Structure 1
Amino acid sequence: MQTQNPFLDEMAKLTTAAMGLAQFAGEEAKAAFRAQVDRIAAELDLIRREEFDALKAEIAALRAEIEALKAAKAQ
């Protein structure tokens, strides 16, 4: 909606620009935070959940194989 008042038009444009800048600043802050968290996780030698779940499944399979070998040896 446009008004006949040029002052109000300029204020609307400034407000729109400020909102865009605030949104961009928020996205930049999120990206910087994620990068910092990833760096800290790498320094602490942490693993991601997907890697943990994959290793957990592999260990379970190995345990089952060991139990099968023990059972075969016992017979």
Structure 2
Amino acid sequence: MSERAAPFYCPYCGDEDLRPSEAAPAAKGTGAAWECAACNRAFRLAFLGLLASGLTPTPGATPGAAPEEER
């Protein structure tokens, strides 16, 4: 099984002309490097982890915001 995640489009310009970057090999745990031929940018994709199962967001909470302290 390959550890390389394949993007469908460039996160910067949206073009689909992407190629694996051989000039910048991915170090272990840093994600795969990709090059966009349209905007001439290089970027990496990385797996961050699994979300905890069974947890549901609090209604009205902002994703990624720190929880309020108990009073």
TM-score (norm 1): 0.20
In proportion to residue count, which structure has more strand? 2
TM-score (norm 2): 0.21
Which structure has more relative contact order (CA 8 Å, sep 6+)? It is: 2
